[in-house]
Amino acid sequence: MLLVEDVMNANPEVIRLGATVREAADRVRAAKCSDLMVVTDDGAFVGVLSEGDLLRRVLPTFAELAGKQLADASSLVAVKARELAEQPIAPLVIRKPLTLGPKDTLVRTASVLIARQIRLLPVVDERGRLVGTIGRSDVGQALLGSTPSGG
């Protein structure tokens, strides 16, 4: 029986809770990922910062766009992005997200990922420490990937 620890990414993209939005955006871009795992300075898992949440924060609301032209909307995005850049990530972090443990089965993991429509989950040990991440592609490869042929 395959377990999360057998196929998880043991080197997830991590950012410290005290980081700024600019640092998070730079990290997302450099790592080409859409989720950062957030930890404290002593390594305790705090939550997840998603690229989508960062983008939603700089996009104007419908109320802000009322009566504005497209160029005005673009300017508004630029202003909001500059204002947000040096703000801490803490208010944007998804706290207490769904997590898995290293000993969870891949069948349970696949069920959770599909039922909850989640792409990636943090893997946290019994001490509350982030030990990895596991995503749909990890599970799919492990469960459906090619198997050695006899020959």
Query: pLDDT tens, 37-63?
Result: 999 988 899 999 998 888 888 777 767
Cβ atoms of 37 and 9 within 8 Å: the answer is no
**Above 90 in pLDDT, residue 24?**
yes
Under the banding of pLDDT at 50, 70 and 90, the label for residue 146 is: low
Question: Cβ contacts of residue 49 below 8 Å, gap of 6+?
Answer: 15, 24, 35, 36, 38, 89, 92, 93, 94
Domains of the chain, CATH where assigned: 4-144 (3.10.580.10)
What φ, ψ does residue 15 adopt, rounded to 5°?
-140, 145
The predicted-structure confidence for 98-107, as pLDDT tens digits, reads as follows 999 999 999 9
Q: Which two tokens stand for residue 3?
A: 């377990």
